[in-house]
Structure 1
Amino acid sequence: MDVGIGLPSTIPGIRGRLVLDWARAAEEAGFSTLGTLDRIVYGNLEPISTLAAAAAVTGRIGLTTAIMIGPYRGNGALLAKQLATVDRLSEGRLTVGIAVGSRPDDFEATASPYERRGKVFDAQLAEMRAVWAGESRGYAGAIGPAPMRPGGPPLLIGGGSPAAFRRMTEYGAGWILGAGGPDAFTAAAAKARGAWGEAGREGEPRLVAIGYVSLGDEAEQHARSYLGDYYSFAGAYVDRVVGSALITQQAVADTVAGFTAAGCDELILFPANPDLQQIELIAAAAGLS
């Protein structure tokens, strides 16, 4: 199983230079990808722009939106162009984790119809596919740049609804778990594999998960401060998120082993502490060094 690491770009007040330093250090430490999270009404850095910056200072490590919300980002043509641009800048290192979203305030802030987000998302995915296939859109022809791979960067569809798995089989290269441990992954991954086979897709879907980690001094305090703020909208659920944070090296090692045994292809560990020393600590705990 590949092990990636999230950029600290969702932590409010983060210095831009630190994000770039983090990207370089993560690549040197041997992580498989750099992940970003997505919100509008919060003090995070925008994920597509952040990955473009990370692409400029790295040369090998993957870049993954884990997970980007599609429906409040407007039409699929513009989104396809933005993502294809990052794909080009990174020379084909982009993977797009994308989902329908569930926070009404983000939709309100962008004047996007929350109740119609599923239909909007379906239309976006169809338009992105058409753009990346090179369909003509006017006098100059197709919307460029052409992505590095035929069909565009691989899409990992998030969500646990029947509609999410239908979108995965129609448009995706795989599925991504937004929250939960190995047990939750096992149950949902079975549904993803089942839907993939029933749709007649060849091979297996790529299956990815994310987790939250904080190691070293004051590990629990950092996890509680960041995750408690980030998930404060979720009410009582926030305690479950904070409680699931990996705050010891053994917890990281056990979680990596659990996801590996469950057939996960990649686990992306998001930091609750932006200190650069976290990269070395997480890499060691995950067995990368």
Structure 2
Amino acid sequence: MDIGIGLPGHAPWTDGRQLVEWARRAEARGFSSVAVSDRLCWSTPEPLVTLAAAAGATRRIRLLTSVLLAPLHTNHLLFAKAVATLDHLAGPGRLQLGLAAGFRADDFTASGVDYAGRGQAFTALLERLRDTGAPGLRPATPGGTALLFGGTSRAALRRIASRGTGWLAGTATVEDLDDFLPQLHAAWAAAGRDGAPRVVVSAMYALGPHAAASVASAIGPYYAFAGEEWARAGIAAACTSAEQITELVEAFERAGCDELILTGNDPDPAQVDLLAEALGR
């Protein structure tokens, strides 16, 4: 199972150059991917811009949006051009585009995009990408950028089986994988796809003497929109020790995960080195 790093974009970062340093260190320490999340009405950095900076600072590590809120990109051709440009800047095969419909209504309200119609908007974007691509710019990656999709709805299953290379499970549990993977593999087979869908899961972490405080200050406010219970659960699920990380890695590998993205909650780039050491790298 591959192990990637998630940038602490949801945490209280103040210097974007630190995020670029995270990418540099992640590549140097042998992590498989550097991932960035998406949230409009938050301090989370814009994913494509952030990965463009990471692409310029690295050479080999994969670049993943986990996940990008696809329906907010209402100018489909402009979005296709941005993705194709990033594919060229990164080099063939590095960009992995994780997409989802989104579920936080305030991002849509602020954008003037219909929240109730986000599924239809998502489908329209995918169809335009398939039929037209980026005007005047062929993809650097043969066959185009790899697409992974988030969500567990029937629509998400259809997207993965018909257009995707895999599933982005988000901050799922092993039990979530046990519930969803049989459905995913059945849909994949029914669509006549060869091989198996790639399964990518995320988990939160912080290490060092201030780990618990970092987790609480990052996850608590970020999940507050969903209520105190959800925020407490998110804080409790985060790994704050090498032992917890080892147990998590072993559990997800047994569950059939192909890549685990460990997302930081402390903006200090030294967290990359602490994670590598916890993993014995």
Deviation (angstroms), 1:14: 2.7
Q: Return the offset for 1:192.
A: 1.4
Q: Which residue of 1 aligns with 2:246?
A: 253
Distance in 2 (CA, whole Å) between partners of 1:70 and 1:58 is: 26
Equivalent AA in structure 2 for residue 262 of structure 1? A
- Give the distance between the partners of 1:48 and 1:249, measured in 2 at CA: 31
Residue number in structure 2 paired with 1:241: 234
Stretches of structure 1 that go unaligned for 5 or more consecutive residues are 133-141
TM-score, reference length from structure 1: 0.93
Give the letter aligned to residue 140 of structure 2.
Answer: M
- Show the counterpart of 2:130: 129
CA RMSD of aligned residues (A): 1.3
CA contact (8 A) 1:10 1:36 kept: no
Aligned to 2:108: 107
2:208 to 191, 205, 216: 216
1:139 corresponds to: none
Deviation, 1:212, is 0.5
Give the Cα separation in 1 of the matches to 2:136 and 2:210. 47
**1:169 corresponds to which of 155, 161, 164:** 161
Correspondence 1:20 to 2:12: no
Q: Deviations over 1:78-131 (max 9, x none)?
A: 211111111110002100111000011000111001010000001111111223
Cα separation, 2, equivalents of 1:276 and 1:39: 22
What CA distance in whole angstroms lies between the structure 2 residues aligned with 1:75 and 1:190?
A: 35
Identity of aligned residues (%): 41
What letter matches 1:62 in structure 2?
A: R
Q: Which amino acid aligns with 1:218?
A: H
- For 1:63, the aligned partner's letter is L
Aligned partner of 1:100: which letter? A
In structure 2, what residue type is equivalent to 1:243? Answer: A
* Aligned position for 1:3: 3
Query: Is 2:66 the partner of 1:66?
Result: yes
CA contact (8 A) 2:19 2:269 kept: no
3-state SS of paired residue (1:243): helix
Q: Structure 2 regions of 5+ residues with no counterpart?
A: none
Distance 1:169 1:63 in 2: 22
What does the per-residue CA deviation read over 1:123-181, in whole Å, with 9 as the maximum and x for residues that have no partner?
1111112233xxxxxxxxx6132112233111111001111001111211111101222
8 Å contact from structure 1 (residues 129, 151) kept in 2: no
* Alignment of structure 1 residues 29-108 onto 2, 5 Å: 29-92=29-92, 93-108=94-109
C-alpha spacing 1:222/1:201, structure 2 compared with 1 (3 Å): same
The answer to whether the 8 Å contact 1:185/1:209 transfers is no
Write the deviation string for residues 193-215 of structure 1: whole angstroms up to 9, x where unpaired. 11101111111111111110011
Q: Partner letter of residue 149 of structure 2? A: I
| 4+ long deviations beyond 3 Å | none
- Per the TM alignment, residue 75 of structure 1 is displaced from its structure 2 partner at its CA by 2.9
Partner amino acid, structure 2, of 1:272 = N
Change (3 A) 1:185 1:144: farther
Structure 1 residue 22 displacement after superposition: 1.4
Match of 1:135 in 2: none
**Contact 2:65/2:99, CA 8 A, preserved across alignment:** yes
In 1, Cα distance between equivalents of 2:71 and 2:223: 21
Q: Which amino acid aligns with 1:155?
A: L
Indicate yes or no: 2:225 matched with 1:225.
no
Contact 1:5-1:269 at 8 Å conserved across structures = yes
| Residues 1:270 and 2:271 aligned together | no
SS of alignment partner, residue 166 of structure 1? helix
Which residue type is aligned with residue 39 of structure 1? R
Alpha-carbon distance between aligned partners in 2 of 1:267 and 1:261, rounded to the nearest angstrom: 12
Alpha carbons 2:203, 2:263 under 8 Å: kept: yes
Alignment match of 1:153 (pick from 141, 145, 151)? 145
- Number of residue equivalences: 279
CA distance in 2, matches of 1:150, 1:77: 19
